[in-house]
Structure 1
């Protein structure tokens, strides 16, 4: 296995990943909405990873990592830390290969995601809702289990797997001006950069982030990584900071990072549920929220939007008395 701390994945790695994971993922549909097109003045194309296996795009990268392990490497299983979607995706992939999966999750992670992890056979160790606690507890778990560490996003195998999503989207649409995805640690955006810089370098890549967890936007403007330890936002999947591999792609290929308020995120989430009749997470609503807040910038453009996941705690929706749990 290549050194995951140093190796920058290539376009060939993405192509190999797509072949490797094909038996274990869905080729998710691209949906459109005339209502949302009229509302934004743009042509929007939604790549629906909320329909993906395990309910999120992260199953792509997780499957690439798990099924890329040699027999010897796979003996001790895999381990990771995650607020939810990577944890359940790695558990799904490990279950398909028949190897153990240990995950460290914040105690405040959405119950629906914890239940899914356990349902796929993953074993959870809980930590406090901060990056510091997450990494400290994980070090103990990895030392105890000896599993192969599959980082949620700062791993070339994961980034190559995530890049398969935008490859499919470009095949499913007749040319795009912009591709947008949410950004937390930057795994999906990095995969998007990896693929589009080769397939369609003319396409702008714009990331979307919550105002209350805007460390990627501040990093982008400062020219170096700025990491927040424990931000608070309903977009529970976007609370983690950029790392060296994802920063490489963000700093070299992303055109801009836009932010949205909590109210704007909820509004976009509700609008998509109502008009497109699909379930998406709060994290997935951030790109549409930023488009609605910056209509002039997107007017007349063909915009691909990656809906990253649909694992929602239906007992704690952000427009009811509860809120999506903090990480």
Structure 2
């Protein structure tokens, strides 16, 4: 296989299937054969029979290691000796680092200068053969520098998506879906640069010719969707989304024609829909996902995808910073009406807070935060402003909390 593939030479699904099967043999000893499981909660919510392919359980926490392994394991000894170079701020970096460790070849990973320390550390943890170079303000600048380094050293550039070896490695997910599930009518896959959905699409269109493939991108980073709509390549300047694993501004030279050939529908989802899907995945299935990992679920719940009775979702990654996860959960709870904020002014006398909290206790709410302010020109002498954030059962309980406080002699302000 070679990445120097012209659009005219790109394989059809039938032609690609043997290539993907070879990739499965090559990478099989080194990856997790991740499960495909039913999702009753999402089946009930959507009205379709839903199954989840859990690449969140993959080594390094995401699917990217499949493509990186297939690329690096199929290099000849002389190419391996020169090493590999990649650019990434996340999952691709870890995939290349692990793959180069398994093969025993040096790897240089170029990461943007502001890459979180935890991601740099996770990449470096794969061993001393990995060299991290921090360069550039964003992925595009890091990628340009990586290409320069690869050219100077004669090293192999491992592209995160626009490489046929990488695409076939990702396509092994399609083989596993076919082997683990009865025929699916629709499969929903996140799209960044398109390597994942191209590989899965090539495999599934050969094995289940009638299956419909739906790609999902974030609204703020949707070059594939825009290209689909225009039927020509469209570049998105300054792509931005919480789903940083699919934060890509342009389609690939190889992936674009492949996606156009195998994908039936492309849709976008909003940032709110992505974060809501992350919270739903955690609450309904106890599954931690990153933004990109929840994008297919967001597509399902959006109602914009054209679906058959049996639907497969690819949960492609679970690498998320715990601080960000906390913010996502809190935001999700707030949007679902699970947080209620109380603001009131009362007399500054002993026991007043106890009376307020007694009312909240009787209603079985949980106090998340409390602020007690008596100083400042806005607060009259002898009074105190109290602000309390409580966790409630649902949006209907919030007004009941206010009513109970009024009945106890307090005057909560309107929100």
1:284 aligns with 2:293: yes
SS across alignment from 1:310: coil
**1:106 Cα deviation after fit:** 2.2
Describe the superposition over 1:41-61 as per-residue Cα deviations: whole angstroms up to 9, x where unpaired.
111111101101111111111
The residue that corresponds to 1:325 in the other structure is none
Describe the superposition over 1:282-313 as per-residue Cα deviations: whole angstroms up to 9, x where unpaired.
11111111211117843x62111111111111
The residue that corresponds to 1:8 in the other structure is 10
Structure 2 CA distance for aligned equivalents of residues 126 and 303 of structure 1: 41
Report 1:107-146 matches (<5 A): 107-121=113-127, 122-146=130-154
The residue that corresponds to 2:409 in the other structure is none
Structure 1 CA distance for aligned equivalents of residues 316 and 3 of structure 2: 27
Describe the superposition over 1:123-165 as per-residue Cα deviations: whole angstroms up to 9, x where unpaired.
2222334454133211232134432111100001000100000
SS across alignment from 1:27: coil
Gaps of 5+ in 2: 332-415
SS across alignment from 1:316: helix
The residue that corresponds to 1:251 in the other structure is 260
Report 1:169-188 matches (<5 A): 169-188=177-196
1:100 aligns with 2:106: yes
Q: Is the 8 A contact 2:147 2:157 kept in 1?
A: no
Q: Is the 8 A contact 2:84 2:108 kept in 1?
A: yes
TM-score, with length taken from structure 2: 0.74
The residue that corresponds to 2:390 in the other structure is none
Structure 2 CA distance for aligned equivalents of residues 112 and 282 of structure 1: 17
The residue that corresponds to 1:59 in the other structure is 65
Describe the superposition over 1:14-36 as per-residue Cα deviations: whole angstroms up to 9, x where unpaired.
11100011111010011222111
Structure 1 CA distance for aligned equivalents of residues 154 and 32 of structure 2: 31
The residue that corresponds to 1:84 in the other structure is 90
User: For the structure 1 residues 320 and 40, does the alpha-carbon distance in structure 2 shift closer, same or farther, using more than 3 Å as the test?
Assistant: closer
SS across alignment from 2:187: strand
Q: Is the 8 A contact 1:208 1:286 kept in 2?
A: yes
User: For the structure 1 residues 102 and 316, does the alpha-carbon distance in structure 2 shift closer, same or farther, using more than 3 Å as the test?
Assistant: same
**1:107 Cα deviation after fit:** 2.8
SS across alignment from 1:234: coil
| Among candidates 34, 38, 46, match of residue 52 of structure 2 | 46
Q: Is the 8 A contact 2:223 2:235 kept in 1?
A: yes
**1:207 Cα deviation after fit:** 0.4
**1:321 Cα deviation after fit:** 8.4
Aligned length: 321
The residue that corresponds to 2:274 in the other structure is 265
The residue that corresponds to 2:365 in the other structure is none
Structure 2 CA distance for aligned equivalents of residues 279 and 296 of structure 1: 23
Q: Is the 8 A contact 2:267 2:305 kept in 1?
A: no
**1:72 Cα deviation after fit:** 1.0
| Among candidates 202, 212, 229, match of residue 204 of structure 1 | 212
Gaps of 5+ in 1: 323-327
TM-score, with length taken from structure 1: 0.92
Per chain length, whose mean CA-contact separation is higher, i.e. which structure has more relative contact order (CA < 8 Å, sep 6+)? 1
Describe the superposition over 1:242-288 as per-residue Cα deviations: whole angstroms up to 9, x where unpaired.
11110011111111111111011000001101111121111111111
Q: Is the 8 A contact 1:196 1:203 kept in 2?
A: yes
Describe the superposition over 1:193-240 as per-residue Cα deviations: whole angstroms up to 9, x where unpaired.
211121111000100111111221101110111122431110001112
Bigger CA radius of gyration:
2
**1:97 Cα deviation after fit:** 1.1
1:189 aligns with 2:215: no
